[in-house]
Amino acid sequence: MAEKPINPRRLARQNAVLRAAIQLIFFIAMPGAFVAGFNGVKAVFQAIGTGQPLAWTGFTMALVVLCLFTIVFGRFFCGWVCAFGALGDFVWWLSGLVQKKLFRRKKQFRLPEHWLPAGQKVKYLILAAIVVLCALNLYGTLGLWSPWEAFSLLTALRLPPAGSTVAVAWLTLIVVGMALQERFFCQFLCPMGAVFSLLPILPFGQLRRAADRCPSGCQLCKRQCPVSIRMDEDNLRKGECISCDRCASACPHGNLTRWDRALLRRPWLGAVGKAAAFFALGAALDLYRFL
């Protein structure tokens, strides 16, 4: 039987709907996973700075699980689960809708592409600064300035405490940035994104491109990528991939694949399986709001 031709529009639409549904589920049920992992980073380096043994807490367990999950499956957490990422995708979508309907823009505004590689390095500086502050046991004095702490409280339906004006202001600026550039926070400011991008990914967890079958000058996969990377770029830039699968779903030639997309007849089954696995891990770690 002849193999059915690929319908990239249908695959891209299925991927977008499925990802939005999974993001919404995790945003409602587990908005604090990002901050739990981040608190694990703080705990590790505060223990190092104070010379105390590392306590095996829920935060450190969350960090270990997030890192192991990323090593095995790539940055699936960033692309499908993280509440900050889901907020960024929604704000970006809403910004495009407003620009199209209200300002009659045919092409959504975004930052110049040549700014992005340099901007993506900023999050490593932020991570380094946080590590140093934690090691010196100084981070706690700046907690009221942290936009991710304010975000965590808001998603938990709690108001930030008095004195958090700076944190709320930073969070507001981040939301504005999300409207001007897709995955603004994830690309430029996220300390956990910096951690995940430096982790090695097992070979079967990586997307692979059959470059010899790609038409010359196509670059459709790069145009679909929310973080503007090419599949043939160096390893550091490849770490920016958030495993959203938009490139693979949009490729009309089926040249981008991963083990789950290659083995399963329906590409969406891999995403559902990984989401279910993360759901189970979140339940085991007591990260869910309603469990």
The model's pTM is 0.91
Which pLDDT tens digit goes with each residue over 207-229?
A: 888 877 888 878 888 888 999 88
Coil, strand or helix: which one is 257? strand
Q: Under 8 Å CB-to-CB from 220, ≥6 apart: which residues? A: 247, 250, 251, 252
pLDDT of residue 214: 84
Mean pLDDT of 144-171: 87
23 against 53, higher pLDDT: 23
pLDDT of residue 234: 54
Q: How far is the C-alpha of 280 from the C-alpha of 276, rounded, in Å? A: 6
Which pLDDT tens digit goes with each residue over 88-109?
A: 999 999 999 999 988 888 889 9
Going by pLDDT thresholds of 50, 70 and 90, the confidence category of residue 71 is very high
